[in-house]
Amino acid sequence: SAQILAGATTNNVWRYAARLVKGPEGTLTRLNDSYLAELMRLRTGQKLRVTLRNALPEPNIAHWHGLHAPAEADGHPAYAIDPGESYVYEFEIRNRAGFYFFHPHTHEATATQVYRGLAGGIIVNDAEEDALGLPSGEYELPIVLQDRSFTDDNQLRYDVGMHERMIGFQGERILVNGKADYAQDVASRAYRLRILNASNARIYKLAWDDGSPITVLGVDGGLLEAPETKPYVMLAPGERLDVWADFSGRKAGSTVVLRSAAFAGAAPKMAERMQRMMGGGAGLPAGGDFPLFTLRVTRETTDSPALPKRLSKPHLPRLEEAANKNAPRPIAISEAPMAMLINGRPYAFDDWLPIEKIPLNTTQLFEIFHQHGGSHMGMGMSMGGGMGGMGMGGGMGMGMGMGMGMGMGGMMSMAHPIHLHGQQFAILSREPEMVDEEAYATVKDGFVMSGLKDTVPVFTGERLRIVKPFDDYAGSFMYHCHNLEHEDMGMMREFLVG
């Protein structure tokens, strides 16, 4: 068992400090001596017992993102504990090998609590993965991506007005494992990079700056059946990527940089235009082009493992069969200046729509899509009313009012990373139904469609079909946008499984 203390560090940064109370069920390692929680290593089949102690001045509850846990161990906001209290989680690790993570899920405080530092990675291993002999130990690099802004005296700064909340917080610096200007020494051989986007809202377009493709081993819920290469990979908040990075043949002294390349659609088109008009603004705009971290080759070696041709046995058949039998349940995304909604409503505890009641031990098909103005009177009105609040001039507001009447979809709408708690899902299809072709061309080759996912960005005009099992545990499970500012604005709903 382990104990996690939610507390403040000397700089008033918050931290989930983990320690083993009784072993040897797993290991904990401090990542880079930063504010991040210790990286947990666990094994499929083991029992986990964690006591969370809350030494913060406000309520807190931790959620195990991507782990298949019973409802009472899933960090539902209803279980948040007050300062001074403790909460015991007890469950078995039923997931495949993969990279998961934990972060708070406190009602309307998830964004601020994660921003202040509360987050940690969990690597699960299993026998199927062990047999592959993938790079491990010093050749397996956890990479936790976050963006932050700082005050002049180097303290965390989080100012989010209406405009920032709509787009989601975009920090001025990139942190890797809690450090800015991150660089890591490597040998000239193959590495395994375990990348987690733990940013509040920033979407990355991961690309090697020498133009070589990205070799993908796995995604949120573990290894793919076989490696895939992509020119670049989109990684939204909550998503993970398992990358084979081979530096074989590189000379000592050379460097390799992973960057986030420019793309459109991370913010509403209207905001992207404003940004261009105003000359980009401070810091790193959503969809901007900037380096993430540097790998410096410091040691030459010819001793490197080979990339396996196959990685895991097929894990999709049962899901595909279920998909043919069921009518899809909708997950409809809609946006308004003062609200972000799913299925037409903001989050409310115990407020299940019929489509959100899921029979236990079934597999369900969902369709995730953007629902636009037209049919929604209330939404059209709140948009008109909210423009002043976004800090645009009056003339601008008028122009937008007209644009909205004519189907404001593209102007106001943006990508949302949709996350479902519980077991991972498979993506069956991704239709660019009503996309802006020019914007879409900047992201469309960066989606990994195979493998098991728990979070998926849905760009404007896209319609996705996913299929997901609901086994073992009855109760209330969240699904929401993993843009944490959006989540806290109510872009969250829950399923009642049972």
Q: Which of 15, 68, 105, 189 binds ligand C2O (CB under 6 A)?
A: 105
Among the listed ranges 171-179, 269-277, 391-399, 478-486, the one in contact with ligand C2O (CB under 6 A) is: 478-486
Q: State the binding string over 228-257 for ligand C2O (x if CB under 6 A, else -).
A: ----------x-------------------
Residues 255 and 298 sit within 8 Å (Cβ to Cβ): no
Q: Examine residue 371 and tell whether it contacts Cu ion (CB under 5 A).
A: no
Q: Residue 244 or residue 366: which is nearer to Cu ion going by CB?
A: 366
Among the listed ranges 19-27, 39-47, 405-413, 477-485, the one in contact with ligand C2O (CB under 6 A) is: 477-485
d(CA 100, CA 121): 6
Residues 23 and 40 sit within 8 Å (Cβ to Cβ): no
Q: Residue 329 or residue 480: which is nearer to ligand C2O going by CB?
A: 480
481 binds, among Cu ion, ligand C2O, none (CB under 5 to 8 A by kind): Cu ion
Q: Residue 311 or residue 458: which is nearer to Cu ion going by CB?
A: 458
Number of residues that bind ligand C2O (CB under 6 A): 10
453 binds, among ligand C2O, Cu ion, none (CB under 5 to 8 A by kind): none
CB of 69 to ligand C2O, least distance (A): 12
Q: Which positions from 55 through 84 interact with ligand C2O, judged by CB under 6 A? A: 63, 65
Q: State the binding string over 402-441 for ligand C2O (x if CB under 6 A, else -).
A: -----------------x-x--------------------
Q: Examine residue 119 and tell whether it contacts Cu ion (CB under 5 A).
A: no
103 binds, among ligand C2O, Cu ion, none (CB under 5 to 8 A by kind): ligand C2O
Q: Examine residue 465 and tell whether it contacts Cu ion (CB under 5 A).
A: no
| Residue nearest ligand C2O, Cβ-based | 65
d(CA 49, CA 68): 14
- Number of other CB atoms surrounding residue 279 within 10 Å: 6
Q: Examine residue 464 and tell whether it contacts Cu ion (CB under 5 A).
A: no
According to the 3-state scheme, what is the secondary structure of the chain?
CEEEEEEECCCCCEEEEEEECCCCCCEEECCCCCCCCCEEEEECCCEEEEEEEECCCCCECEEEECCCCCHHHCCCHHHCECCCCEEEEEEECCCCCEEEEEEECCCCCHHHHHHHCCCEEEEEECHHHHCCCCCCHHHEEEEEEEEEEECCCCCEECCCCHHHHHHCCCCCEEEECCEECCEEEEECCEEEEEEEECCCCCCEEEEECCCCCEEEEEECCEEEEEEEEECCEEECCCCEEEEEEECCCCCCCCEEEEEECCCCCCCCHHHHHHHHHCCCCCCCCCCCCEEEEEEEEEECCCCCCCCCCCCCCCCCHHHHHHHHHCCCEEEEEEEECCEEEECCECCCCCCCCHHHEECCCEEEEEEEEECCHHHCHHHHHHHHHHHHHHCCCHHHHHHHHHHHHCCCHHHHCCCEEEEECCCCEEEEEEEECCCCHHHHCCCHHHCCCCCEECEEEECCCEEEEEEEEECCCCEEEEEEECCHHHHHCCCEEEEEEC
Q: Residue 269 or residue 486: which is nearer to ligand C2O going by CB?
A: 486
478 binds, among Cu ion, ligand C2O, none (CB under 5 to 8 A by kind): ligand C2O
Among the listed ranges 62-70, 90-98, 141-149, 396-404, the one in contact with Cu ion (CB under 5 A) is: 62-70
Q: Examine residue 480 and tell whether it contacts ligand C2O (CB under 6 A).
A: yes
486 binds, among ligand C2O, Cu ion, none (CB under 5 to 8 A by kind): Cu ion
Q: Residue 243 or residue 420: which is nearer to Cu ion going by CB?
A: 420
430 binds, among Cu ion, ligand C2O, none (CB under 5 to 8 A by kind): none
Rg (CA), the chain: 22
CB of 206 to ligand C2O, least distance (A): 19
Whether the bond between 24 and the residue before it is cis, its omega within 30 degrees of 0, is yes
Q: Which of 145, 411, 478, 489 binds ligand C2O (CB under 6 A)?
A: 478
Among the listed ranges 79-87, 243-251, 316-324, 475-483, the one in contact with ligand C2O (CB under 6 A) is: 475-483
Q: Residue 200 or residue 312: which is nearer to ligand C2O going by CB?
A: 200
Q: Residue 65 or residue 194: which is nearer to Cu ion going by CB?
A: 65
Among the listed ranges 111-119, 281-289, 291-299, 482-490, the one in contact with Cu ion (CB under 5 A) is: 482-490
Q: Which residues bind ligand C2O (CB under 6 A)?
A: 63, 65, 103, 105, 238, 419, 421, 478, 480, 482
Q: Which residues bind Cu ion (CB under 5 A)?
A: 65, 416, 421, 481, 483, 486
